């Protein structure tokens, strides 16, 4: 019989116990023993769950208190010298110092884990890095699991991906040299695992789903020659996920691994080739249950896919598995009692996915009748989802078909629009504004909680919010900002707020997914055709505008960001789903304009995040993503000023597509990188107006007027003053008023002082 195994389980806990424990520990409410107890308890719960699901292989080492990459860094002893730990055993304080920084040392940098919304801590490698094994933690977890009777399989990130994902400070150190230094530690690790009773190890090389070079492939071959000889009795699985291995498939499958795992959800086309190319002694692990999304699997079609493989390879050489670690899906859909009962049967979170593996395994060995019985519930849910009128709204289909090319275009070119807008808005040179949100105070969060739990009546809640908006407007007027915002106090989250009001979405109660450390996100679930039944923001904007004579920006989240930060249906192309969202946002844009908004901002914070892992696919994505923004935004009249905000720093390769958005004004993150990012503007003449963030809202530090003046002067080298705006680099919701007020005062003072001075010249 084919066996089933898992690649990784969500670690935050059913009730986000890990989050609570971490935050209590950081506040010193609990000590390290209590934190470790919670962690052990969670690992045991997760093992129990997986064991009860009849899995033949259960991952160990997938758990991390903060981040699995940080665990790897510690395991390999790759602690950056700047922390001054000099080869000592890493205790909890050191671990969290690396994750969160100390008064003397900033934390390790954080960046996105491939194309997921998970962020890992970037290892720092340089010529002085001395790798040294620190495997105690992993080995004791392995022993615990074995004592528990779990068929434990340690999971580690492979050496190639570890180095490719690290930041190497010394370009003079080639990959081959680094590998030479690193490999002995891996060899030692494998020997130690084997000595501790482990018989299998899963070595993840997710980088293989990206554009690896020939040199990197050669390095991989060398790595595997070494790894398999470390302990010949140890069975090694090479796990790849997040995409296809493409032209490298044959070469990778000829490595001397005992097993290969392929992501057949993202890249089903690999299967046929893989079955042929696999060497006669190796096993194939079929990643067929989607580890990146929350929909139930179509078991019938999976059986049709798996059976021929079993016929060709023999059952003992086939394993079934999720496509990747289940880290990227929430814990369990079983608790979503309040979710639309028609949609709920379509959902499979982590726990349900384990159930699917169990069912698949049982079905594969069963006769026809038992098989029909086993999958009948799944079959009807799949059919219901496929044919439901909830998912297919003919009016949306019709609207999509009637999109015309001119719907994506502003009526006149930027120069003409800018003139009309200038006459209408009469803004000073270097206009000052903010990105949208103001501090989400305890008072606001409490009121929202009371309203959500029905302790506070909607009417009272709305009165409260109107009061908040009025006071935020008064503050901005008093500070002397030129373009105001309503402050977003009514929004729990910039995506969920819209998803709650759009058709085609449901919001889960417990669908939390780890983003980094103790931080989790709860992506809305986009299950069907999207439409906007009613205006979503207009009344709040109208109230805000009624409190001031300065222009107040209408504030929307863009279609790509809504798509990117949701779990999205998998039965049609993402581009098409995004177009539907774009049409809904377009309705809102036009309603804001009709209601009198002279300036509308559409945030696309996640535009860059959606970039596919393979360069060859990026152009296609960028084209449809920008087109969706244009569809959402560009229906407005020339005199209406359109803003967009994007918060990330790697701007260079995106600047041309961003210009194609044709927003009148964009605001971008710049202050953290000291305007380095404006280099993009040197090589490319960005045609419209730009507000490079002059104040880093991610830090509690209050910038001085002089600093901001300096940044504005730098900006003037790249962008003519007539097209330069002055703003922070992101929304202010995570900051307190005691930080925001002086920082904005300094920002406004800086703008005034630069206005009064001559234009800087290179």
Catalytic residues: 698
CB of 556 to ligand GLN, least distance (A): 9
The stretch near Zn ion (CB under 5 A) out of 43-51, 526-534, 684-692, 726-734 is: 726-734
| Residue 161 contact, options ligand GLN, Zn ion, none, Cβ 5-8 Å cut-off depending on partner type | none
Who contacts 271 (Cβ-Cβ below 8 Å, separation ≥6)?
262, 264, 286, 305, 309
CB 611 within 8 A of CB 243: no
What distance in Å separates the CA atoms of residue 267 and residue 168, rounded to the nearest whole number?
31
Listing DSSP states for 41-93 in one string gives HHHHHHHHHHHHTT-SBEEES---SS-HHHHHHHHTT---GGG--TT----HH
> To the nearest whole angstrom, how small is the minimum distance from the Cβ of residue 605 to Zn ion?
5
Residue 504 binding target from ligand GLN, Zn ion, none, CB below 5 to 8 Å by type = none
**Which is it for the CA torsion 175, 178, 182, 187, positive or negative?**
positive
Please answer whether residues 115 and 207 qualify as being in contact, where contact means their C-beta atoms are separated by less than 8 angstroms: no
Which lies closer to ligand GLN via its Cβ, residue 162 or residue 516?
A: 516
Alpha carbon distance 3, 195 (integer Å): 25
Select the residue interacting with Zn ion from 97, 418, 606, 730 (CB under 5 A): 730
Name the residue number minimizing CB distance to ligand GLN.
Answer: 731
Short-list 723, 724, 727, 743, CA closest to 735: 743
Which residue ranges make up the site for ligand GLN (CB under 6 A)? 435-437, 488, 494, 555, 603, 605, 645, 647, 730-731, 733
Among positions 647, 689, 694, 750, the unique one binding Zn ion when judged by CB under 5 A:
647
Which of ligand GLN, Zn ion, none binds 325 (CB below 5-8 Å, type-dependent)? none
Residues 516 and 312: their CA atoms lie apart, in Å, by: 42
Q: Residue 605 or residue 642: which is nearer to ligand GLN going by CB?
A: 605
Sort 58 into a burial class: Cβ within 10 Å, 0-12 / 13-18 / 19+: buried
CB 241, CB 291: distance < 8 Å: yes
Smallest distance from the beta carbon of 136 to ligand GLN, in angstroms? 40
Out of Zn ion, ligand GLN, none, what residue 726 binds, judged by CB under 5 to 8 A for its kind, is none
Which of these segments, 132-140, 408-416, 543-551, 642-650, binds Zn ion (CB under 5 A)?
Answer: 642-650
The nearest distance, CB 748 to ligand GLN, in angstroms, is 18
In the complex with ligand GLN, the residue whose CB is nearer, 473 or 647, is 647
Give whichever of 95 and 629 is closer to ligand GLN, judged by the CB atom. 629
Q: If we measure between CA atoms, which residue out of 642, 635, 485 comes closest to residue 551?
A: 485
Name which of ligand GLN, Zn ion, none residue 733 binds, using a CB cut-off of 5 to 8 Å depending on partner kind.
ligand GLN
| Nearest partner of 325 among 96, 546, 114, judged by Cα | 114
Nearer to Zn ion, 201 or 732 (CB): 732
Within its chain, how far is the Cα of 196 from the centroid? 36
> How many residues make contact with Zn ion (CB under 5 A)?
3
494 binds, among ligand GLN, Zn ion, none (CB under 5 to 8 A by kind): ligand GLN
From the list 11-19, 224-232, 576-584, 646-654, the region that binds Zn ion by CB under 5 A is 646-654
- Cβ distance to ligand GLN smaller for residue 259 or 604: 604
Say which entry of Zn ion, ligand GLN, none residue 437 contacts (CB below 5 to 8 A, set by partner kind): ligand GLN
Instruction: Count other C-beta atoms under 10 Å from residue 620's C-beta.
Output: 11
The SS3 call for residue 672 is helix
* CB closer to Zn ion out of 324 and 730: 730
Task: Kindly state the smallest distance separating residue 647's Cβ from ligand GLN, in Å.
Answer: 4
Shortest distance (Å) from residue 491 CB to ligand GLN? 8
Instruction: State in angstroms the smallest separation of the CB of 745 from ligand GLN.
Output: 19
Contacts (CB under 5 A) with Zn ion, residues 604-633: 605
Q: Which of 279, 220, 288, 285 minimizes the C-alpha distance to 248? A: 220
8 A C-beta contact, residue 107 and residue 98:
yes
Could you tell me the CA-to-CA distances from 440 to 450, 468, 737 in Å, in that order? 15, 10, 9
Least separation, in Å, of the C-beta of 499 and Zn ion?
Answer: 18
- Residues 678 and 719 sit within 8 Å (Cβ to Cβ): yes
Residues near Zn ion (CB under 5 A): 605, 647, 730
């Amino acid at each position: 019989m084919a066996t089933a195994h898992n690649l990784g389980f969500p670690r935050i806990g059913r009730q986000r116990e890990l989050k609570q424990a971490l935050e209590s520990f950081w506040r010193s409410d609990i000590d390290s023993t209590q934190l470790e107890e919670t962690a052990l308890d969670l690992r045991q719960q997760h093992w129990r769950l997986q064991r009860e699901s009849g899995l033949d292989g259960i991952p160990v080492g997938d758990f991390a208190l903060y981040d699995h990459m940080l665990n790897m860094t510690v395991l390999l002893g790759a602690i950056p010298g700047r922390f001054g730990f000099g080869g000592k055993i890493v205790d909890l304080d050191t671990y969290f110092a690396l994750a969160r920084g100390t008064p003397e040392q900033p934390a390790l940098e954080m960046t996105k884990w491939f194309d997921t919304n998970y962020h890992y801590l970037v290892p720092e490698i340089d010529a002085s890095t001395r790798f040294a094994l620190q495997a105690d933690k992993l080995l004791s977890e392995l022993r615990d699991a074995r004592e528990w009777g779990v068929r434990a399989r340690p999971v580690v990130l492979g050496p190639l991906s570890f180095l490719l994902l690290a930041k190497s400070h010394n370009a003079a150190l080639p990959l081959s040299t680094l590998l030479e230094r690193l490999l002995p530690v891996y060899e030692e690790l494998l020997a130690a695992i084997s000595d501790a009773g482990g018989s299998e190890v899963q070595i993840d090389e997710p980088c293989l789903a990206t554009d690896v070079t020939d040199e990197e492939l050669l390095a991989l071959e060398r790595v595997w020659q070494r790894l398999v000889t470390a302990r010949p009795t140890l069975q090694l699985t090479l796990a790849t996920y997040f995409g296809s291995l493409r032209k490298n498939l044959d070469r990778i499958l000829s490595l001397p691994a005992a097993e290969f795992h392929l992501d057949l959800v993202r890249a089903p086309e690999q299967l046929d080739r893989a079955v042929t190319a696999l060497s006669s002694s190796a096993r194939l692990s079929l990643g067929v249950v989607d580890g990146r999304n929350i929909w139930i699997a179509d078991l019938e079609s999976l059986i049709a896919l798996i059976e021929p493989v079993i016929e060709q390879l023999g059952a003992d050489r086939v394993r079934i598995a999720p496509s990747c670690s289940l880290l990227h899906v929430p814990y369990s859909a079983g608790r979503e009692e309040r979710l639309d009962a028609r949609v709920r049967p379509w959902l499979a979170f982590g726990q349900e996915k384990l159930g699917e593996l169990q069912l698949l395994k049982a079905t594969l060995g069963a006769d026809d009748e038992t098989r029909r019985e086993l999958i009948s519930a799944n079959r009807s849910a799949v059919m219901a989802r496929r044919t439901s009128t909830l998912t297919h709204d003919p009016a949306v289909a019709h609207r999509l078909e009637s999109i015309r090319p001119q719907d994506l275009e502003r009526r006149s070119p930027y120069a003409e629009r800018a003139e009309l807008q200038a006459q209408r808005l009469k803004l000073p040179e270097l206009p000052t504004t903010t990105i949208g949100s103001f501090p989400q105070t305890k008072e606001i969060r409490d009121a929202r909680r009371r309203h959500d739990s029905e302790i506070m009546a909607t009417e009272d809640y709305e009165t409260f919010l109107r009061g908040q908006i009025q006071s935020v407007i008064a503050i901005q007027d008093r500070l002397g900002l030129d373009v105001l915002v309503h402050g977003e106090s009514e929004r729990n989250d910039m995506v969920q707020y819209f998803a709650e009001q759009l058709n085609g979405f449901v919001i889960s109660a417990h669908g939390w997914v780890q983003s980094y450390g103790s931080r989790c996100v709860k992506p809305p679930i986009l299950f069907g055709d999207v439409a906007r039944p009613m205006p979503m923001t207009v009344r709040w904007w109208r109230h805000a505008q009624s409190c001031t004579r300065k222009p107040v920006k209408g504030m929307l989240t863009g279609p790509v960001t809504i798509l990117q930060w949701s779990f999205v249906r998998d039965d049609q192309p993402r581009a098409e789903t995004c177009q539907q969202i774009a049409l809904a946002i377009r309705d809102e844009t036009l309603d804001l304009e009709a209601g009198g908004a002279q300036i509308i901002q559409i945030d696309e914070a996640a535009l860059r995040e959606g970039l596919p892992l393979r360069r060859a696919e990026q152009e296609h994505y960028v084209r449809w993503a920008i087109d969706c923004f244009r569809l959402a935004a560009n229906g407005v009249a020339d005199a209406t000023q359109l803003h967009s905000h994007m918060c990330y720093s790697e701007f260079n390769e995106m600047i041309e597509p961003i210009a194609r958005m044709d927003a009148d004004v964009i605001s971008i993150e710049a202050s953290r990188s000291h305007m380095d990012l404006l280099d993009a503007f040197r090589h490319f003449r960005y045609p419209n107006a730009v507000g490079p963030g002059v104040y880093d809202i991610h830090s509690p530090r209050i910038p001085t007027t002089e600093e901001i003046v300096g940044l504005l002067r730098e900006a003037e080298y790249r962008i003519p003053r007539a097209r330069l705006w002055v703003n922070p680099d992101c929304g202010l919701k995570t900051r307190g008023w005691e930080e925001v007020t002086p920082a904005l005062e300094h920002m406004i003072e800086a703008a005034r002082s630069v206005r009064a001075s001559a234009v800087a010249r290179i």
